[in-house]
């Protein structure tokens, strides 16, 4: 990453999260290129807009493409694909990379950095100097149209690298986010932060898919309150067995907060839009660790299986029989 | 129950099960009165028809009412309400009863005889001589229209009384069913038979509600096979703690059979028809016993909670927010 000039950015997978943060960086003066899956032409014409309570970020001129082959190397690459599409990274990442780029996995869930490292490893280039970190977003927003996002609540991005203390090179990226007025945090224990977020995500992402109800409605419904807490406690059990001290206080506090969240999670929005859900990073990997550690988590297993079967039918991988 | 003449029958809750068995008894020459919730007038005009592969049972003349006040006492009362409606029995049963009537709970699930006994206890009459038994049906059928049922598969009714060996008085009822060519069995251990059926019903009734898929499709879907078996094993754990030896062989054998069942369960049909589901007898009571015995069954708890919340929203007890 260049020390002498402003870092340049690529957003890979310009959905709600990618546009939200990419636009704030561009608005702060950084050069940002967006890789859209759909609607690249429309967005190139209409620009990008993000609605905040404090006013709108309007960007009439944006660098947009739908062809990853047209990307050029930048200092920072923000990956905001749905994690179920991370397998595409072996093709999408290389055109945007130079030897010392920083890749920020701007995603939820577990194992995403390992995905990116493994998929880069399948390229014939030597990408071993590329640095990969997490930018764990805690934000609620909605997509009003192509390139048009409405910010609802929160917004903090927590930066870290799995398995190690936050390295010095993170500072360069974090500085950019801060200059763009994006709330940031840096953690020396990314894995614990990921487990904490998963304890919320396991009930809060999957259950709304079943009910088309908000996080708060379900967490506070008498039929589901103990089940919601039990799912959180199962995640806690896996985390503790994995060596991360997810405290009882954290679980009970986050549970109380959940009851007051009148929001729909991204997983429900993906499901409703007939898109695949981020089951790999939110459910499969924690469950894989549970299996390896010999931890029994039947409620999480059941929810995960239900979601997997619903996902297959919803996305047409299995045609419904009736 | 009269020894000298043919026993007379009332069917309380003439839905699919009640019409199916009531019609076979009437066809064999027994006097049967049907209490319909809806469509009593239509059925009085059009009669009752049950389609079997071997030919149809056609009954142009049927004794039908929609007013329980109009019922008269009969020797046998078949209760085929959905168990979620059993609370109505305090009103529906007494007009059909005489001192020595036999009540056959022609239903799935647990605790139904206790329901009936308790609800009769709230009447000012002394009904203590009324005998209450189970007729546990194992049948697949569908309702083609009011008073018109299509028999699909199976049909056996297993008779027994909770907590005791099959008493002699059961013979009179069982004889009638046999004369009507209904396959019967009699058990000295009704509670074990109920647990066996519950081990199937807990996954096979509830999960199709989530997927609108058949029992076999779900039991054999790679995403759900281990979860299906785990739900059965949780029921087994409760049964064993309750003193009923639900064998591993039974569980694994029934699981294998489930994979080959291309049928939709009654609970899914009730849900699709926006009717309340039989959650009380299939889920609540086994879970209550698990709680009393200190048995942890998180997957069953989760499924039960999900169904309860879906039931409330589906039947309008809680209006959906979106």
Q: What is the dihedral of CA B298, B300, B305, B308, to 10 degrees?
A: -170
Q: Is B9 helix (H, G, I), strand (E, B) or coil?
A: strand
CB-based contact, B218 to chain A, within 8 Å: yes
> Residue A38: left (phi > 0), alpha (psi -120 to 50), or beta?
beta
- Type and span of the H or E element at A312: helix A298-314
Residues A177 and A195 in one domain: no
Contact list in A for residue B301 (CB cut-off 8 A) is: 226-227, 230, 299
Chain centre distance of CA A10: 16
pLDDT per position as a tens digit, A147-203 = 999 999 899 999 999 999 999 999 999 999 999 999 999 999 999 999 999 999 999
Place of tokens 């064999």: B28
CB-based contact, A303 to chain B, within 8 Å: yes
pLDDT of B2 strictly over 60:
no
Contact list in A for residue B310 (CB cut-off 8 A) is: 210-211
- Separation in Å, CA A45 to CA A33, B140, B261: 15, 59, 55
Residue A149: what pLDDT?
A: 96
Domain contains B89:
yes
pLDDT per position as a tens digit, B182-211 = 999 999 999 999 999 999 999 999 999 999
Radius of gyration of the CA atoms of chain A, in A: 19
Q: Is B23 helix (H, G, I), strand (E, B) or coil?
A: helix
pLDDT per position as a tens digit, B24-36 = 999 999 999 999 9
pLDDT of B232 strictly over 90:
yes
Domain contains A142:
yes
Residues A114 and A243 in one domain: no
Residues A31 and A101 in one domain: yes
Residue B282: what pLDDT?
A: 97
Q: For chain A, give the percent of residues with pLDDT over 90.
A: 91
CB-based contact, A322 to chain B, within 8 Å: yes
Using the beta-carbon criterion (under 8 Å), do A313 and B211 form an inter-chain contact? yes
Contact list in B for residue A284 (CB cut-off 8 A) is: none
Q: Which of B147, B163, B187 is the last residue of a domain?
A: B187
Alpha helices in B277-321 (DSSP H): 279, 285-293, 298-314
- Type and span of the H or E element at A153: strand A148-160
Q: Which of A187, A212, A247 is the last residue of a domain?
A: A187
CB pairs under 8 A between A and B: 94
Residue B122: what pLDDT?
A: 80
Residues A132 and A272 in one domain: no
- Please check whether residue A158 is in contact with residue A69, taking contact to mean a CB–CB distance below 8 angstroms: no
Select from B212, B213, B302 the Cβ nearest to the Cβ of A227: B302
As a whole number of angstroms, the distance between CA A120 and CA A104 comes to: 14
Domain contains A282:
yes
Domain contains B319:
no
Domain contains A309:
yes
Select from B210, B213, B218 the Cβ nearest to the Cβ of A210: B210
Sorting pLDDT into bands at 50, 70 and 90, what band is A1?
low
Domain contains B1:
no
Residue B79: what pLDDT?
A: 98
Residue of B nearest to A223 (CA): B305
Q: For chain B, give the percent of residues with pLDDT over 70.
A: 98
Task: Give me the domain span that covers residue B226.
Answer: 191-314
Using the beta-carbon criterion (under 8 Å), do A321 and B224 form an inter-chain contact? no
pLDDT per position as a tens digit, B268-280 = 999 999 999 999 9
Q: Average pLDDT of B40-52?
A: 96
Residues B175 and B269 in one domain: no
- The beta-strand segments (E) located in B119-199 are 131-145, 148-160, 184-186
CB-based contact, B320 to chain A, within 8 Å: yes
Using the beta-carbon criterion (under 8 Å), do B207 and A306 form an inter-chain contact? yes
Q: Average pLDDT of B34-42?
A: 94
Min Cα separation B267/chain A (Å): 16
As a whole number of angstroms, the distance between CA A278 and CA B97 comes to: 58
Residues B82 and B70 in one domain: yes
Q: Average pLDDT of B63-71?
A: 97
Min Cα separation B225/chain A (Å): 9
- Separation in Å, CA B30 to CA B22, B69, B75, B175, B176: 9, 22, 11, 12, 8
Residue A190: what pLDDT?
A: 97
Q: For chain A, give the percent of residues with pLDDT over 70.
A: 98
pLDDT per position as a tens digit, B125-149 = 889 999 999 999 999 898 899 999 9
- Separation in Å, CA A117 to CA A75, A77, A80, A111, B203: 17, 14, 16, 10, 40
Min Cα separation B230/chain A (Å): 8
Residues A131 and A262 in one domain: no
| Residue A131 DSSP symbol | E
Where residue B40 sits, what CATH number does that domain have? 3.40.50.720
CB-count exposure of residue A4 (10 Å: 0-12, 13-18, 19+): exposed
Residue A11: what pLDDT?
A: 98
CB-based contact, A227 to chain B, within 8 Å: yes
Select from B221, B303, B310 the Cβ nearest to the Cβ of A211: B310
Q: Average pLDDT of B170-176?
A: 97
Residue A125: what pLDDT?
A: 87
Residues B37 and B103 in one domain: yes
CB-based contact, B152 to chain A, within 8 Å: no
Residue A184 pairs with which residues in a beta bridge? A157
Q: Which of B145, B164, B187 is the last residue of a domain?
A: B187
| Among B85, B69, B63, B73, CA closest to B13 | B85
Residues A154 and A31 in one domain: yes
Using the beta-carbon criterion (under 8 Å), do B298 and A303 form an inter-chain contact? no
Residues B208 and B295 in one domain: yes
Min Cα separation B13/chain A (Å): 28
As a whole number of angstroms, the distance between CA B30 and CA B28 comes to: 6
CB-based contact, A224 to chain B, within 8 Å: yes
Residues B178 and B196 in one domain: no
**Which has more confidence, B111 or A1?**
B111
- Type and span of the H or E element at A199: helix A190-211
Contact list in A for residue B320 (CB cut-off 8 A) is: 212-213
**Which has more confidence, A128 or A318?**
A128
Where residue B248 sits, what CATH number does that domain have? 1.10.1040.10
How would you classify the pairing of strands A76-79 and A102-105?
Answer: parallel
Residues A251 and A155 in one domain: no
Domain contains B146:
yes
CB-based contact, B214 to chain A, within 8 Å: yes
CA A230, A234, A238 angle in degrees (round to 5)? 165
Taking residue A58's Cβ as centre, other Cβ atoms within 10 Å add up to 12
Select from A212, A218, A299 the Cβ nearest to the Cβ of B322: A212
Contact list in A for residue B306 (CB cut-off 8 A) is: 207, 210-211, 223-224, 227
Q: Average pLDDT of A232-240?
A: 98
Chain centre distance of CA B320: 29
As a whole number of angstroms, the distance between CA A108 and CA A194 comes to: 8
Domain count, chain A: 2
């Amino acid at each position: 990453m260049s020390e002498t000039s402003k870092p340049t950015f690529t957003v890979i997978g310009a959905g709600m999260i990618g546009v939200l943060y990419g636009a704030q960086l561009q608005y702060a003066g950084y050069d940002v290129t967006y890789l859209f899956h759909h609607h690249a032409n429309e967005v190139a014409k209409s620009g990008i807009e993000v609605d905040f309570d404090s006013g709108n970020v309007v960007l009439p001129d944006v660098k947009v493409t739908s062809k990853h082959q047209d990307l050029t190397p930048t200092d920072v690459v923000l990956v905001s694909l749905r994690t179920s599409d991370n397998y595409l990274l072996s093709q999408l990442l290389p055109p945007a990379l130079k030897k010392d780029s920083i890749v920020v996995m701007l995603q939820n869930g577990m194992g995403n950095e390992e995905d990116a490292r493994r998929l880069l490893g399948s390229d014939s280039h030597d990408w071993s100097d590329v640095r990969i970190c997490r930018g764990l977003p805690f934000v609620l927003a909605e997509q009003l149209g192509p390139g048009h996002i409405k910010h609802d609540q929160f917004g903090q991005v927590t930066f870290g690298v799995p398995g190690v203390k936050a390295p010095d090179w993170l500072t360069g990226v974090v500085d950019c986010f801060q200059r763009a007025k994006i709330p940031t945090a840096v953690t020396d224990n990314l894995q614990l932060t990921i487990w904490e977020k998963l304890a919320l995500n396991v009930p809060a992402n999957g259950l709304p898919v079943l009910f088309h109800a908000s996080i708060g409605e379900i967490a506070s419904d008498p039929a589901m309150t103990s089940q919601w807490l039990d799912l959180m406690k199962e995640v806690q059990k896996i985390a503790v067995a994995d060596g991360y001290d997810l405290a009882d206080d954290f679980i009970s506090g986050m549970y109380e907060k959940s009851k007051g969240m009148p929001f729909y999670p991204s997983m429900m929005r993906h499901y409703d839009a007939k898109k695949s859900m981020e089951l790999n990073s939110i459910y499969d990997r924690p469950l894989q660790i549970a299996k390896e550690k010999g931890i029994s988590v039947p409620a999480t297993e059941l929810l995960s299986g239900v979601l997997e079967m619903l996902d297959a039918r919803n996305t047409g991988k299995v045609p419904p029989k009736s």
